[in-house]
Amino acid sequence: MLKIIVKEGENIERALKRFKNKYRKTKVLYTLRDKQQYSKPSEVRRKNKEKAIYRERYLRSLEE
């Protein structure tokens, strides 16, 4: 469970922003969407490999 301690005098929008960032970092929504339907292990490996290739190409393009 996520806990956000609102400091005295802190703006509620700022506290909500901190909560959203923590929630995003836990990847809860990502796992919920991923579990909505079954995907074969080979599909998962293929998807992860494609992501890694994309990431590598992106990082190399930044170096140039």
Rounded to 5 degrees, what are φ and ψ at 5?
-90, 115
pLDDT tens for each residue of 22-39:
999 999 988 999 899 999
Mean pLDDT computed over 26-54 = 94
What local confidence, expressed as pLDDT, does residue 49 receive? 98
Tokens 């339907």 sit at which residue?
Answer: 37
Is the model's pLDDT at 55 over the cut of 90? yes
Please state, in angstroms and as integers, the Cα–Cα distance from residue 5 to each residue in 14, 26, 31, 40, 44, following that order: 11, 17, 25, 41, 37
Within a domain: 7: no
pLDDT tens sequence across 5-24: 998 999 999 999 999 999 99
Q: Is residue 3 part of a domain?
A: no
In a domain, 58, yes or no: yes
Quick check: is 51 in a domain?
A: yes
How far the first Cα of the chain sits from its last, in Å, is: 43
Q: With respect to residue 2, please indicate whether it lies within any of the assigned structural domains.
A: no
Are the C-beta atoms of residues 28 and 42 closer than 8 Å to each other? no
- Domain-embedded: residue 20: yes
- The count of structural domains within the chain is 1
d(CA 35, CA 10): 37
Q: Indicate yes or no: pTM above 0.85.
A: no
